[in-house]
Structure 1
Amino acid sequence: MYNSRKKPMEEIAEEMTAIWSCTNETCNGWMRDNFSFSSNPTCPQCQSPMEKGEKKLAVLVNTNPRRNGE
Structure 2
Amino acid sequence: MPTMTDVPTAPTASKPDLSPVQIWRCRSSSCKAWVRAELAAGAKPSCPLCQGEMIRGIKHLPKLVTKVKAQKKKADVVPW
Q: Using structure 2 for the length normalisation, give the TM-score.
A: 0.63
**Where has structure 1 moved over 3 Å in runs of 4 or more?**
none
Q: Which runs of 5+ in 2 are unaligned?
A: 1-9, 68-80
Q: Which structure would you say has the larger RCO, counting Cα contacts within 8 Å and 6 or more residues apart?
A: 1
- RMSD value, Cα: 1.8
Q: Aligned in 2, Cα 1:41/1:26: closer, same or farther, shift over 3 Å?
A: same
Decide which of 32, 41, 63 is 2:45's aligned counterpart.
Answer: 41
> Percent identity at matched positions?
29
Distance 2:18 2:42 in 1: 24
| Structure that is richer in helix per residue | 1
Matched, 1:32 2:36: yes
The SS at the match of 1:34 is helix
Matches within 5 A, 1:1-70: 9-61=13-65
Instruction: State the aligned residue count.
Output: 58
